[in-house]
Structure 1
Amino acid sequence: MDYQLELKQIVDFPRCRIYREFIQTLIKDRSIRTNGSSCLFYFLILCSYANYSSSYRNIEHLTYTVAPGEWICTLKELQHQFRFRFQHQVLSVLDSLAEQNCLTYTLHEKNRIIRYKISDWPKDNTALSYNFPCKKDVGFFFFPIANVHKLIHMGKCSEMDALLDLWIHAVYNDPSVRCSDSGPVVYFRNQTGNPLFSYQYLTERWQQSKSSVSRMLKKLESNDMITLISYSGKHGSMIYLNNYLSVMFNISDVMIDKEEIAMKMELPIHIPGEVSAEKTTVSCVPESVSDEQIIVSQEGFCVPEPHTKTIVRKVAEMLETQGIVCCRCPKAKYILSPLSACKDIVYRYSLRIICPLGSASYHFELNIKPQNPEAKTIPSVRTQTLPASPSFSEIPEILLKGGE
Structure 2
Amino acid sequence: MQYQLEIKQIVDYPRCRIYRSFIRNLMEDRNIRTNGGSYLFYYIVLCSYANYRMSRRRLEGMSYTLQAGEWICPISELQEAFRFRFHHQVISVLQFLEEQHYVSYTLLGKNRLVKFSILDWKTENTILGYSYPCQKDTGFFFFPITKVYELISIGKCSEMDILLDLWIHAIYNDIHVQGSDLGPVVYFRNHTGNPVTNYTELSERWGRSRATVCRILKKMDALDLLTLIPFSGSHGSIIYLNNYLSTMFSVSDVLIDKEEVALALSLPIQIPDDPDSVSEPDIAEQISISDETDSVPKPVLHYVIEKLANLLQTQGLPCCQCKRARYQLSRLSDSGGRLNSIYSLEIICPYGNTAYRFELSLSPKEDPPTLFTQIPTVNLKGGYAHA
1:18·1:141 contact (CA, 8 Å) conserved in 2?
Answer: yes
Which string of whole-angstrom CA distances, capped at 9 and with x for unpartnered residues, describes residues 202-250 of structure 1?
A: 1111111111000000011110111111101111111111122122224
The whole-number CA distance in structure 2 between the counterparts of 1:13 and 1:122 is: 13
The whole-number CA distance in structure 2 between the counterparts of 1:63 and 1:129 is: 25
Q: 1:207 maps to which residue?
A: 207
Return 5+ residue gaps in structure 1 as ranges.
1-10, 252-404
Q: 1:102 maps to which residue?
A: 102
Q: 1:42 maps to which residue?
A: 42
Q: 1:56 maps to which residue?
A: 56
After superposition, the CA RMSD in angstroms is 2.2
Q: 2:318 maps to which residue?
A: none
Question: Could you say if the C-alpha distance between residues 13 and 182 of structure 1 is closer, same or farther in structure 2, counting changes exceeding 3 Å?
Answer: farther
TM-superposed CA distance for 1:23, in Å, is: 0.6
Question: Could you say if the C-alpha distance between residues 39 and 168 of structure 1 is closer, same or farther in structure 2, counting changes exceeding 3 Å?
Answer: same
The equivalences for 1:115-126 within 5 A come to: 115-126=115-126
AA of the residue aligned to 1:122: K
Does structure 1 residue 249 correspond to structure 2 residue 249? yes
The whole-number CA distance in structure 2 between the counterparts of 1:123 and 1:244 is: 29
The equivalences for 1:384-395 within 5 A come to: none
AA of the residue aligned to 2:85: R
TM-superposed CA distance for 1:133, in Å, is: 6.4
Question: Could you say if the C-alpha distance between residues 59 and 12 of structure 1 is closer, same or farther in structure 2, counting changes exceeding 3 Å?
Answer: closer
Secondary structure class of the residue paired with 1:106: strand
The equivalences for 1:171-320 within 5 A come to: 171-250=171-250
The whole-number CA distance in structure 1 between the counterparts of 2:196 and 2:212 is: 19
| Structure with the larger strand share | 2
The whole-number CA distance in structure 1 between the counterparts of 2:157 and 2:29 is: 17
Identical aligned pairs, as a percentage?
61
Secondary structure class of the residue paired with 1:104: strand
2:53·2:131 contact (CA, 8 Å) conserved in 1?
Answer: no
Secondary structure class of the residue paired with 2:22: helix
Q: 1:156 maps to which residue?
A: 156
The whole-number CA distance in structure 1 between the counterparts of 2:225 and 2:246 is: 12
2:53·2:132 contact (CA, 8 Å) conserved in 1?
Answer: no
TM-score (norm 2): 0.59
2:52·2:133 contact (CA, 8 Å) conserved in 1?
Answer: no
Q: 1:277 maps to which residue?
A: none
The whole-number CA distance in structure 2 between the counterparts of 1:13 and 1:188 is: 18
Question: Could you say if the C-alpha distance between residues 76 and 250 of structure 1 is closer, same or farther in structure 2, counting changes exceeding 3 Å?
Answer: closer
Question: Could you say if the C-alpha distance between residues 236 and 13 of structure 1 is closer, same or farther in structure 2, counting changes exceeding 3 Å?
Answer: farther
AA of the residue aligned to 2:82: F
The whole-number CA distance in structure 2 between the counterparts of 1:13 and 1:185 is: 23
Which string of whole-angstrom CA distances, capped at 9 and with x for unpartnered residues, describes residues 317-343 of structure 1?
A: xxxxxxxxxxxxxxxxxxxxxxxxxxx
Question: Could you say if the C-alpha distance between residues 35 and 16 of structure 1 is closer, same or farther in structure 2, counting changes exceeding 3 Å?
Answer: same
2:103·2:117 contact (CA, 8 Å) conserved in 1?
Answer: yes
AA of the residue aligned to 2:113: I
The whole-number CA distance in structure 1 between the counterparts of 2:250 and 2:95 is: 36
TM-superposed CA distance for 1:155, in Å, is: 0.7
The whole-number CA distance in structure 2 between the counterparts of 1:160 and 1:67 is: 29
Question: Could you say if the C-alpha distance between residues 36 and 125 of structure 1 is closer, same or farther in structure 2, counting changes exceeding 3 Å?
Answer: same
TM-score (norm 1): 0.57
Structure with greater contact order relative to length (CA < 8 Å, sep ≥ 6): 2
Return 5+ residue gaps in structure 2 as ranges.
1-10, 252-387
The whole-number CA distance in structure 2 between the counterparts of 1:73 and 1:232 is: 51
Secondary structure class of the residue paired with 1:31: coil
TM-superposed CA distance for 1:126, in Å, is: 2.5
The whole-number CA distance in structure 2 between the counterparts of 1:230 and 1:145 is: 27
Q: Number of residues paired by the alignment?
A: 242
1:177·1:193 contact (CA, 8 Å) conserved in 2?
Answer: yes
The whole-number CA distance in structure 1 between the counterparts of 2:247 and 2:190 is: 25
TM-superposed CA distance for 1:157, in Å, is: 0.6
The whole-number CA distance in structure 2 between the counterparts of 1:176 and 1:134 is: 39
